[in-house]
Structure 1
Amino acid sequence: MHILLLTDNFMPEVNAPASRSFEHCREWAKSGHQVTVITGVPNFPRGEVFPGYRNHLWQTEIIDGIRVIRVWTFICANQGFLFRTLDFFSFMITAFLASFFVRKIHVVVGTSPQFFTVCAAWMVSALRRVPFVFELRDLWPHSIQVVGAMKNKFVLRALSRVELFLYHRAALIVAVTHSFKRILTARGVDPAKIAVVTNGVDLHRFEPAQKDPQFEARLGLATCFVAGYIGTHGRAHGLDTVLDAARLLQKRGENDVRILMLGDGEEKAALQRRAQAEGLHNILFLDTVPKDQVSRYWSLLDCSLIHLRRDPLFRSVIPSKLFEAMATGIPVVLGVEGEAADIVTRYKVGVTVPPEAPQILTDAILRLRDDPAWRMTMAENGAGAARRFSRPVLALSMLQAMEGIVQNDCLSETEMN
């Protein structure tokens, strides 16, 4: 089977969509399938082309048995709705055109969170007469409305109609949470064509590790209890709450607690300015690091902070960093309600707190600091539970669902002939 995947982000980018797409494609290729990916040049999140790449009309490479076609896009930093939309729209056009040069495909997959990419996948499927798979990683455009990136009701209604059109045209929808499936079913989408394949973790890359004393000392974290946020610093994440907690910790004189914030995003500069203005000396901001270095930073943490803004929409999501924390044996302080909180509670891998509640977040961090035995139990629970969310297992589940629709498509063609 020849699988064509369209995705905005891909290896060597390190955000959640890039990691999921790469790790799934790698497993599909290992299973003997031909896999082609159409994507842009790596530039997320700063809008700066990675070393060794250029924003050309067409370039190809092979990564772990995957043929990767990189096309030109309008590149900008991960901020500003207009420029980001131009980026997404340009990829829709160039990815669609590039698909003409990919031969004999059996299924085309378009992955969100934004769905201009999925629009391109549907157009390819319609033209090539192959099944179209919608990988649903975010309920867009609702999510951009929640974070205030778009307020024009006319445009939002138009985007919502396109969204429903794509759901109904898809032969298969792969949702990353059970909540997404319930929401789509309530909106009239056939539940029989919705498969749930959650986010997961590469257990070979993320595993429990001892702290590196020299690395720890170089970052000024020796003898400190380190609570860390690793991931995108975006509007949806509500990271002002983490700074509020840092301020409370500093005010209380809890001088042995440090907050490490690793990553980039449209809110990072504002967060840094605020920390400097308020004299928050207990926060360390670090830039995104290459994928093969991320686990080294996880090992510095005594607990992981995972947070989203308070909104009903976010009750339906499961941040992918939750699984990375579990795999590395790092107890979680989770400021997310709904399905993610159910996982933390069910497997006893951390503490749940209400979103946007800095006082409760602060208390949770201190409780974990003061109870090493409790942290150890959570760490062991997390490492054990992470095996349920192993990326190869999840990739195989999605592959089986795609094989099913391809077989059905072949049977339909045979019957018509």
Structure 2
Amino acid sequence: MHILFITDNFPPEVNAPASRTFEHCREWVRAGHRVTVMTCVPNFPSGRVYEGYKNKLVQTENMEGIDVIRVWSYITANEGFVKRILDYVSFMVSAVGISPRVKAPDLVISTSPQFFSACAAFLISRMRQIPFVFELRDIWPESIKAVGAMKSSLIIRMLEKIEIFLYHHAVKIVSVTHSFKNTLIRRGVPGDKITVVTNGVDLERFRPREKDDHLVAQYGLKGKFVAGYIGTHGMAHALETLLEAADQVRHQAGGDRFRFILLGNGARKAHLLEKAKEMDLDNVIFIDSVPKEDVAKYWSLLDVSIIHLRKTPLFTTVIPSKLFECMGMGIPVLHGVMGESAKMVEKHGVGMLFEPENADALCRGLQTLAHDPDVYKKMTHNCLAAAPEYDRKNLAARMLAELETAVKK
């Protein structure tokens, strides 16, 4: 089978969509299938083209057996609604225009969060008379409203109509959460064409390891209890809560023991840096995004991982992918997300929940994990016990079976 995958995020970008797509495609190649990925030049989230790439009409490479076609797009930072829409639409147009280069695909699949990639996949499916599969990672454009980037308007309503159109015209929808599936069913999408394949973890990369001595020395972490957030610093993540917690904990007994790491980039990174400076936070360390192959070394620095999203009903339906990486590495979680992901944390006993945007609750959880070794040890054990259930290899195989079914239909 020849799979054509349309996505605007792909390695060397290191965000969740890029990692999931790459790891699935790699496994499909290993299973004997041909995979072509059509994407843009790596630039997320800073809006700057990565070293070694140029934003030209088309360029090709091969990554672990995956044929990668990179097309031109309007590049902007991950901020500003209008500019981002121009980014998405330009990629859609380029992907459709360049798609005839791909020889004899058997199906085309696209992935959200934004669905202009899905628009491109739908158009290609009609041009090539092949099945169209929609991988649903986010309810978009609802998430735009949830983070306050744009209020309900004629444009949003138009985008929602396109969204529903794509759901109905996909042969198969692969959702990353059960909540998303239930949402689509309530909106009239037939449940029998929606399959849930959750996010997962590459256990070859994310596994228990000792703290990296060089990085411990570099950031002055010897003897410290390190809590960290690794990922995009965007509007959805409300990382100001972590800064407030860092401010509180340094004034508590034994507060000098704690350090906070925020690793990544995004639309709110500059604001967070400025806020930390205003608050004179000497216990917070900001680190820019690092290459994919180095990410696990930085995870190793953490005693506790903080997962956090804004307090809004939409985010009760998501499962942050970093939760699975924490399981793989045996790092307990302080989980500031309610809903389906919170139930997963409780089910497996891999962390403690705290109310989103509540710095007091975050501090209480941090103190508990730092000072109760029995609780900490049990959660570490539970992480490692749960991780195999979310092994990316097995999840990729499940999704591949759905693709094979779509082609047969």
- Structure 1 length-normalised TM: 0.97
| C-alpha displacement of 1:212 | 2.4
Equivalent residue, structure 2, for 1:279? 280
**CA separation in 2, counterparts of 1:81 and 1:362?**
34
SS in 1 for 2:168: helix
Equivalent residue, structure 2, for 1:161? 161
Equivalent residue, structure 1, for 2:298? 297
Q: Deviations over 1:345-393 (max 9, x none)?
A: 0110000111111101011001100012321211111012010001111
Equivalent residue, structure 1, for 2:235? 235
Q: Deviations over 1:232-262 (max 9, x none)?
A: 0000011111111111112325111000000
SS in 1 for 2:256: coil
Equivalent residue, structure 1, for 2:321? 320
**CA separation in 2, counterparts of 1:71 and 1:290?**
22
**CA separation in 2, counterparts of 1:196 and 1:94?**
30
Which amino acid letter does the alignment assign opposite residue 283 of structure 1?
A: V
Which amino acid letter does the alignment assign opposite residue 232 of structure 2?
A: T
Of residues 139-148 and 251-260 in structure 1, the stretch that sits farther from structure 2 once superposed is 251-260
Equivalent residue, structure 2, for 1:413? none
Equivalent residue, structure 1, for 2:267? 266
**CA separation in 2, counterparts of 1:144 and 1:152?**
9
Which amino acid letter does the alignment assign opposite residue 278 of structure 1?
A: M
Equivalent residue, structure 1, for 2:384? 383
Any stretches of 5+ residues in structure 1 without a counterpart?
409-417
| C-alpha displacement of 1:123 | 0.4
**CA separation in 2, counterparts of 1:152 and 1:195?**
29
Of residues 211-220 and 334-343 in structure 1, the stretch that sits farther from structure 2 once superposed is 211-220
Matches within 5 A, 1:189-204: 189-204=189-204
| C-alpha displacement of 1:80 | 1.3
Q: Deviations over 1:212-244 (max 9, x none)?
A: 233202111111100000000000011111111
Equivalent residue, structure 2, for 1:358? 359
Equivalent residue, structure 1, for 2:17? 17
**CA separation in 2, counterparts of 1:322 and 1:212?**
21
Equivalent residue, structure 1, for 2:222? 222
Matched, 1:74 2:71: no
**CA separation in 2, counterparts of 1:48 and 1:220?**
30
Of residues 165-174 and 78-87 in structure 1, the stretch that sits farther from structure 2 once superposed is 78-87
Residue identity (%): 53
Which amino acid letter does the alignment assign opposite residue 330 of structure 2?
A: G
**CA separation in 1, counterparts of 2:38 and 2:363?**
44
Equivalent residue, structure 1, for 2:50? 50
SS in 2 for 1:252: coil
SS in 1 for 2:305: strand
**CA separation in 2, counterparts of 1:152 and 1:405?**
35
Which amino acid letter does the alignment assign opposite residue 95 of structure 1?
A: A
| C-alpha displacement of 1:121 | 0.4
| C-alpha displacement of 1:152 | 4.7
- Structure 2 length-normalised TM: 0.99
**CA separation in 1, counterparts of 2:70 and 2:222?**
42
Equivalent residue, structure 2, for 1:392? 393
**CA separation in 2, counterparts of 1:213 and 1:113?**
37
Equivalent residue, structure 1, for 2:333? 332
| C-alpha displacement of 1:307 | 0.3
SS in 2 for 1:255: helix
**CA separation in 1, counterparts of 2:87 and 2:158?**
19
Equivalent residue, structure 2, for 1:101? 101
Equivalent residue, structure 1, for 2:213? 213
Equivalent residue, structure 2, for 1:8? 8
| C-alpha displacement of 1:85 | 1.1
Which amino acid letter does the alignment assign opposite residue 256 of structure 2?
A: N
4+ long deviations beyond 6 Å: none
Equivalent residue, structure 2, for 1:415? none
**CA separation in 1, counterparts of 2:291 and 2:190?**
40
SS in 2 for 1:133: strand
**CA separation in 1, counterparts of 2:377 and 2:212?**
18
**CA separation in 2, counterparts of 1:86 and 1:372?**
51
**CA separation in 2, counterparts of 1:405 and 1:87?**
30
**CA separation in 1, counterparts of 2:390 and 2:360?**
32
Alpha-carbon RMSD = 0.8
Aligned residues: 408
| C-alpha displacement of 1:100 | 1.3
Matches within 5 A, 1:239-250: 239-250=239-250
Of residues 377-386 and 260-269 in structure 1, the stretch that sits farther from structure 2 once superposed is 377-386
Q: Deviations over 1:48-75 (max 9, x none)?
A: 1111111110100111110000000111
Equivalent residue, structure 2, for 1:64? 64
**CA separation in 1, counterparts of 2:310 and 2:106?**
40
**CA separation in 2, counterparts of 1:215 and 1:321?**
21
Any stretches of 5+ residues in structure 2 without a counterpart?
none
**CA separation in 2, counterparts of 1:153 and 1:218?**
49
Equivalent residue, structure 2, for 1:371? 372
